[in-house]
Amino acid sequence: MRGWQAHHTAVDRLGESFGRIPAGDRVRLAKKTSNLFRPRDSSISGLDVSGLDGVIEIDINALTADVQGMCTYEHLVAETLPRGLMPYVVPQLKTITLGGAVTGLGIESTSFRSGLPHESVLEMDILTGSGEVITATPDNDHADLFDAFPNSYGSLGYTTRLKIKLEKVPARAALRHIRMADAASAVKTIEAIADSGEWEGVRVDGLDGTAFSPDEIYLTLANFTNDVQRRPSDYTGQQIYYKSIQRRETDAVTMEQYIWRWDTDWFWCSGAFGAQNRWLRRIWPRRWRRSDVYHRIVALDEKVGLSRLIDRIKKVPGRERVIQDIEVPVDRLPEFLEWFDAEVGMRPVWLCPLRTTRAWPVYPLDPGATYVNAGFWGTVEVPADAEPGSVNRRIEEAVQKLGGHKSLYSEAFYDQDTFEQMYGGETLAAARRRYDPEGRLSTLYEKAVRNS
């Protein structure tokens, strides 16, 4: 673990790098990797975050961890699992950072009972646009910053440290893949599990779903257990997790395998690179079967244009990237999926129920109400003369009509007035007046829509 002395040294270095940025210049992190799927302005000066990517301390009695903002969940879980602990919510991909999950929202199968990652944060140290490092908690003088920070995507500052709650977990996860006849049946089951925390008398610790088609939807129910009678499956090798959902009614995995079950094949997106071909998979190094590698392949393809060349050869008139996560109230899920199949036609779709514990102004969901996150990632063919982002624009309109929201890690096309109404514009403006009076950081609209 990093330790407090090393942490303070890294924070000092961060502050020094802030001081070197000329007055009036915009500021952002000097970060080589990202889980964002939207462009970033490379002309903005970067902060030195070296040494801010580790675990500072774990308190096994208090069930808390002090973690640096650039620490990935992969590194944190490697420290907590040997102690029989894990964060309340661990986003699906290994290289998502603690700071990124809080400022950009994260979600996983425990979200139906534990909310989103920021809801298990006890306090945060945040480097603000004024260059100060401020400790924000739910009830101190900086509670306004604590409340506004989730979903602010760096427009209010960057976390240098987070104190988060941990929960005790056993060694294994027993899985049940339950096939639903349709989306309406899935909704009824999700609501029943969210209310009771169990299904057919068995406790449910994790809940998510995979919608392969309108009449082939599976809910995966995870029970965290110490039962070691069944040999655990391994989905980091030749077996592919999402395909097992259709083939197995029950399964067992180690807790580590459960946490990272989606990372090995980037859900199902690794198929686009040939990583699911059984012959290529045998020679594809295991250490390269992971989400950040696929992300780099996508970035390389965007630079060299191989996919565009293939499309020209196949005479594809145009193509639009549709990589989004949205939340709708659980009872509106069937309506959304019906619209999505008719207008977009992309499957599978990942489903992840969630409930928030209280209101968060920049991503307003009704506390205690059940929502379902729908995740879909890929490309669709469009006419050659299609307006840029035309499919994504229709998705935004449909989600808004259904009383939902869209995550902002990918491309967004809202007009500014709509955006400010949906994403806590007044709250963010007030926080920026207090913590970034000179406007050193880009606003949320500039980051999410204008890509600056």
Q: Residue 88: which residues within 8 A CB-CB, separation 6 or more?
A: 110, 114, 115, 117, 119, 120, 164, 165, 166, 167
End-to-end CA distance of the chain: 35
Q: Are 361 and 424 spatial neighbours (Cβ–Cβ below 8 Å)? A: yes
How far is 366 from 370, CA to CA, in rounded Å? 8
In this predicted structure, what is the pLDDT of residue 375? Answer: 97
Q: Are 275 and 100 spatial neighbours (Cβ–Cβ below 8 Å)? A: no
Q: Are 346 and 416 spatial neighbours (Cβ–Cβ below 8 Å)? A: no
Q: Are 221 and 250 spatial neighbours (Cβ–Cβ below 8 Å)? A: no
In this predicted structure, what is the pLDDT of residue 34? Answer: 61
**Angle, vertex CA 123, rays to CA 95 and CA 45, nearest 5:** 55
DSSP-derived secondary structure letter, 37: B
- What crossing angle do the helices spanning 390-401 and 333-343 adopt, rounded to 10°? 160
pLDDT digits (tens, 9 = 90+) for 279-315: 999 999 999 999 999 999 988 988 888 888 888 888 8
CA 274 to chain centre: 24
In this predicted structure, what is the pLDDT of residue 32? Answer: 61
In this predicted structure, what is the pLDDT of residue 45? Answer: 59
Q: Are 70 and 101 spatial neighbours (Cβ–Cβ below 8 Å)? A: no
In three-state form (DSSP H/G/I as H, E/B as E, the rest C), the secondary structure along 378-419 is: EEEECCCCCCCCHHHHHHHHHHHHCCCEECCCECCCCCHHHH
In this predicted structure, what is the pLDDT of residue 413? Answer: 95
Q: What residue ranges define each of the domains in the chain, with the CATH number in brackets?
A: 4-169+429-448 (3.30.465.10), 172-261 (no CATH), 305-413 (3.30.70.2520)
In this predicted structure, what is the pLDDT of residue 57? Answer: 97
Q: Residue 56: which residues within 8 A CB-CB, separation 6 or more?
A: 1, 2, 3, 4, 7, 65, 66, 67, 68, 161
Give every residue of the chain whose pLDDT is below 50, as ranges.
none
In this predicted structure, what is the pLDDT of residue 40? Answer: 58
DSSP letters, 229-277, are SSPPP-TTTT--HHHHHHH-SEEEEEHHHHHTTTTTTTTTGGGGGTTTS
Q: Which residue type is seen at 242?
A: Y
Element (H, E) at 8: helix 4-20
In this predicted structure, what is the pLDDT of residue 44? Answer: 58
Share of the chain above pLDDT 90, in %: 85
Q: Residue 328: which residues within 8 A CB-CB, separation 6 or more?
A: 336, 371, 372, 374, 399, 402, 403, 404
> Which pTM was predicted?
0.94
In this predicted structure, what is the pLDDT of residue 33? Answer: 60
H helices of 238-377, in order, are 241-247, 255-259, 278-283, 291-304, 306-313, 333-343
Q: Are 97 and 74 spatial neighbours (Cβ–Cβ below 8 Å)? A: no
